Structure 1
Amino acid sequence: MTPEASIPGPAPIDESALRAYLSDELPPDQMARVEKALRESATLRARLEDVRADREDFQLHSLGAIWRRSRLTCPTRQQLGSYVLDALDPELGAYFQFHLEVVECPICQANLSDLEAQSRSNSGSDGSRTRHQRILKSSEHLLGDEA
């Protein structure tokens, strides 16, 4: 037996290696080896696509899933507060209405419901009106002659 024969070569790129590659779980040297092999082998690229399609999290990485998960079209809670107070630009208010009533975003609907409940409870308290009057009175000088 020659010395070269006793040194094992790199492990074959099997399904578990491809899964680890897709999940970025391989060490850098093995990632580079898999990437090189993928560039050189159409058969291995086809196997990678099969592994990708069979993954449980396959749909988690679609553009739509990322968009929904990141809530890219959802207004912030502060913006929803302005919506409750009808203090938004009409176009933005119309979009929020669409988002809430047509898209029916459950997170935004829950936030809106909470903000509306807070608004109702605050509008009924005397402390809120007094605080509101104090804020207006302390800001009169900023308004100048317009007040």
Structure 2
Amino acid sequence: MSERTDADLQAFLDESLPAAQMAEIEAELRDDTELHQRLATLRGQQDAGMHGLGAIWRRYRVSCLSREELGQFLLGVMDDQAAEYVRFHVQRIGCRYCEANLEDLQGQQREAATQTATRRRKYFQTSVGHLKK
């Protein structure tokens, strides 16, 4: 069990950690009363309006990408530096918010591709009788 920082615990409260790390902290909280007390103190500070710059940054998702930017990433039209930041933010930092948006956009992209293929097939099937020999 590693020593948890206040930033880790604050991110846990904000549910902004990767799922595996959230599960680790939950398991540690079951057995560690000191950790549980630290978490309660942080929650109290948060409720009392005591916020640090990092907490404000995370809460307002300042470093997160818009859906438009994530869409550009999926389409491969982003410049290399911006695309590298998306990979870093989603894969290395593990931003659950951006990861969920990215997965949603990928699902929409797959659905659109399926609909396009279906539409083309139907157009072809309905026009077969009208083709000249």
Distance in 2, matches of 1:129 and 1:60, equals: 55
Report the CA distance shift for 1:66/1:77 in structure 2 as closer, same or farther (over 3 A).
same
- TM-score, normalised to structure 2's length? 0.52
Asked if structure 2 preserves the Cα contact closer than 8 Å seen for 1:74 and 1:108, the reply is: yes
1:75-121 Cα offsets, whole Å, 9 max, x none, are: 10110011111110110000000000000100000000000000011
Q: Where has structure 1 moved over 2 Å in runs of 4 or more?
A: 55-60, 126-130
Asked if structure 2 preserves the Cα contact closer than 8 Å seen for 1:99 and 1:105, the reply is: yes
Distance in 2, matches of 1:60 and 1:69, equals: 13
> How many residues get paired?
77
Asked if structure 2 preserves the Cα contact closer than 8 Å seen for 1:122 and 1:128, the reply is: no
Give the match for residue 64 of structure 1.
54
Q: Residue 92 of structure 1: SS of its match in structure 2?
A: helix
Give the match for residue 11 of structure 1.
none
Aligned residues: percent identity? 36
Q: Match for 1:114 among 104, 107, 116?
A: 104
The higher-RCO structure (CA 8 Å, 6+ apart) is 2
Give the match for residue 125 of structure 1.
115
Q: Which structure 1 residue ranges, 5 or more long, are not aligned?
A: 1-52, 131-147
Structure index of larger Rg: 1
What amino acid does structure 2 have at the position aligned with 1:91?
Q
- TM-score, normalised to structure 1's length? 0.47
Give the match for residue 76 of structure 1.
66
> Offset of 1:126 from its aligned partner?
2.7
CA RMSD of aligned residues (A): 2.5
